[in-house]
Amino acid sequence: MTAAAAPSELPDTSSEVPTRPNRKALMIKTVLCVVGAVVLIQMPLLMDRSTTQRLTQVLAIAVAVLGLNLLTGFNGQISVGHSAFMGIGAYATAIMMARHESPFILTMMVAMVVAFAVGVVVGLPALRIRGVYLALVTLALAAMFPQLVVRFSGLTGGSTGITLEDTQQVTTPQPVNDLFKSLTGSRLLDNQYRYYLALVVAVVCFVLVRNLVKSRVGRALIAIRDNETPAEVLGVNVGAYKVATFGVSAMLAAIGGSLFVMNADQAVPSEFGIQVSIELLTAVVVGGVATFVGPAVGALALVYVSDLFPKEHPEYAPVLFGLTLIVLMIISPGGIVGLAKQGWARLVRSRSA
């Protein structure tokens, strides 16, 4: 009886039985989407600089969590090594921008290619190794990444990391600024531009992952998660799908790392250690495993959770955080989205009754 062999009963979003079209539910969903979009777009224009930066950080982490959710939530492979993939993205961007003054988008693409390749290599053992045993292989990756960074300090700047100079940072391009000025009459600040850049990248990633999971490929991934043997019998190429999912998941984590560096203007090895892997996994579950908005909610919770606890005794904050996690898991194993879904079901039922 192992964790991996047990058929998982994750909250299933992909195979919801189509019920009678509920027009009210559809209407509420549309309204929510519109309101959400307006809020996301207006946010940096209404908030101060530090809040905008923090929100950009949420977007960066959300993309990384999205990647882990694809792997763990939809494909059933637990990874404790995604901090390393995030770190690969972060360092690809930091090194190329600081040493070669490459444009950010180019660095992100390089990060994606490198992380995909490393992800596939790390995913290869997953063909034979499962569950907790696979978790160890990924844990090894997470433990080694900061040490490798320090070992190759000539390239990576060692334990102090790489800081982007003013001239190397991502700033609002002139044409974008002109366009924005002609529309609104004010300048688009650098931190606002970065937010929108991260938002566009994040939205693209979320939509692509959603489409992927809703497709034939997604059904194959979920079949593999639920039970590999029948999936194989039904003609799913289990090995190829598992390895490819690992690669894509690593690629998304690397995009998150790239965005993170774009926002923070620096890459430090200690920010991509095991701790971060654990935080990403926590964000996946706190948001809602195998859901589409879960990663965003989880990332938001991860960045803002420290604000919830009293400031007088900061040393007790992790204790409260730990207890909050436990209580949340007791109330709702489906995370915050699971909690919201319970509420939603109640709402729709009472309305349509």
Partner 1 sequence: MMVTALLAEEVSALTNFLQYTFLGLQKGAVYATIALALVIIFRVSGILNFAQGEMATFSTFITWAIWGDGRVPIWAALALSLVVSFALGASIERLVIRPVSKKAAGNPLPIVIATIGLYLAFSALAPAIWGTDAKRFPTLFGEGSLSLAGASISYQTLGTLAVLAVVVGLLFVLFQKTKIGLAMRGVASNAESASLVGVSVGSVLMLGWALSSAMGCMAGALTANVGLNGALMIAPLIYAFAAATLGGFDSPAGAVVGGLIVGLVAEYSADYLAEVPFTTITFIGEQLRIFPAFLLILVVLLVRPQGLFGKPQVTRV
Question: Which DSSP string do the residues of 49-105 spell out, in sequence order?
Answer: HHHHHHHHHHHHHHHHHHHHIIIIIIT----S-HHHHHHHHHHHHHHHHHHS---HH
Distance in Å, CB of 290 to partner 1, minimum: 10
For helices 274-287 and 49-68, angle between their N-to-C axes, nearest 10 degrees: 80
Decide if 246 contacts 119 (C-beta within 8 A). yes
Site string for partner 1, 297-336 (x = CB under 8 A): ----------------x-xxxxx-xxxxxx--xxxxx---
The answer to whether 129 contacts partner 1 (rule: CB under 8 A) is yes
Q: Is 348 near partner 1 (CB under 8 A)? A: no
Instruction: Confirm or reject binding of residue 230 to partner 1 (CB under 8 A).
Output: yes
Please report, as residue ranges, which positions from 258 to 287 form the binding site for partner 1 (by CB under 8 A): 274, 278, 281-282, 284-286
> Reduced to 3 states, what is the DSSP secondary structure of residue 136?
helix
C-alpha distance across the termini of the chain, in Å = 43
| Under rule CB under 8 A, residue 136 binds partner 1 | yes
In whole angstroms, how large is the CA radius of gyration of the chain?
21
Among 121, 140, 203, 217, binds partner 1 (CB under 8 A): 140
Under rule CB under 8 A, residue 10 binds partner 1: yes
Amino acid sitting at position 131 = G
Total number of residues shown for the chain: 353
Quote the least distance from Cβ 328 to partner 1, whole Å. 8
Q: Which is nearer to partner 1, 107 or 249 (CB)?
A: 249
Stretch (H or E) spanning 122: helix 104-123
Here's the x/- map for partner 1, 50-89, by CB under 8 A: it reads as ----------------------x-----x-----------
Q: Is 179 in the site for partner 1 (CB under 8 A)?
A: no
Select from 28, 125, 163, 347 the one that contacts partner 1 (CB under 8 A): 125
Among 23, 128, 311, 349, binds partner 1 (CB under 8 A): 128
The nearer residue to partner 1, 105 or 331, going by C-beta atoms, is: 331
- Give 15: exposed, middle or buried? Use CB within 10 Å, 0-12, 13-18, 19+: exposed
Size of the site for partner 1 (CB under 8 A): 60
> DSSP letters of 166-204?
GGGS----HHHHHHHHHHHSS---HHHHHHHHHHHHHHH
How far does CA 185 lie from the centroid of its chain? 34
> Closer to partner 1 at the Cβ: 10 or 98?
10
- Which CB sits closer to partner 1, 111 or 285? 285
By beta-carbon proximity to partner 1, the closer residue of 59 and 281 is 281
CB 182 within 8 A of CB 317: no
Q: Record the tokens describing residue 171, joined without a space.
A: 């700033």
2 binds partner 1 (CB under 8 A): yes
Contact residue for partner 1 among 19, 50, 182, 229 (CB under 8 A): 229
Query: Taking CB under 8 A as the criterion, which residues in 26-55 touch partner 1?
Result: none
CB 302 within 8 Å of CB 61: yes
By the criterion CB under 8 A, which residues form the site for partner 1?
1-10, 72, 78, 125, 128-133, 135-137, 139-140, 143-144, 147-148, 150-151, 227-230, 233, 274, 278, 281-282, 284-286, 289, 313, 315-319, 321-326, 329-333
